[in-house]
Amino acid sequence: MTTFQINGRDVTVSVEDDTPLLWVVRDELGLVGSKFGCGVAQCGACTMHLDGQPVRACVTPVSDVAGRKVTTIEGISGSVADAVRDAWVKLDVVQCGYCQSGQVMSAVALLAESPAPSDADIDTAMSGNICRCNTYQRIRTAIHDAATTLKG
C-alpha cells in the first residue's frame, strides 16, 4: 500500500511498489490526461509534477511518491498554469494533441522556476518533450506569450 497526495487529495493504492506512477494514475485512479508514449522517459508524454518538479511518470515507481505531492494535467492550477493554457489556445499550439499534457506540464514547471525564460532556457527545459507534429516553434512562442502575460 502506498499513500500520497494527487491533485490535492490523499489517496492510498494497493499495487506493487515498482508499478510505474503513470499506470497507477491512469488505471487505478482514472486520471487519463497524462499519456503513455515511449515507456523509457524519452518522450515526455507522461510528465507529471512531483513536489512541483516535472518527472516522467512512466519510469517513476509508485514507491518513490509515498508521502509526496503529485500533480497531473487534470490538477494543474494557478496563474502560471492559466497563462500557459491560454497561450496554447491563443496560438493554436496543438495539432494531434497527444503530447500536449506533457508539454504543458513541462512549460508550467519552467515558468514557475524562470518567469522570463530565454529561448535557450525553453529549449533546455522542453528538450525531453517530443512532438511528432513538430509544433516546437509554436510551443516556444506560447511559453514566451505566457511569460509576458505573467509579467502583466
pLDDT per position as a tens digit, 69-119: 999 999 999 999 999 999 999 999 998 989 999 999 999 999 999 999 999
* Domain ranges within the chain, ordered by starting residue: 2-71, 79-151
Topology given in CATH for the domain delimited by 79-151: DNA polymerase; domain 1 (1.10.150)
Q: Does pLDDT of 123 surpass 80?
A: yes
Percentage, residues of the chain above pLDDT 90:
96
In the structure, what pLDDT confidence band is assigned to residue 125 with cuts at 50, 70 and 90? very high
pTM of structure: 0.95
Note the pLDDT of residue 100. 94
Give yes or no for residue 40 having a pLDDT over 90.
yes
Class of domain 2-71: alpha beta
What is the pLDDT confidence band of residue 152, given thresholds at 50, 70 and 90? confident
Chain-centroid distance of CA 30 in Å reads 17
Q: What is the mean pLDDT of the chain?
A: 96
146 CB neighbour count, 10 Å cutoff = 28
Instruction: To the nearest 10°, report the CA torsion of 89, 107, 150, 52.
Output: 130
> Edge-to-edge strand order for the sheet containing 9-13?
9-13, 2-6, 69-71, 47-50, 53-56
Distance CA 54, CA 52 (A): 7
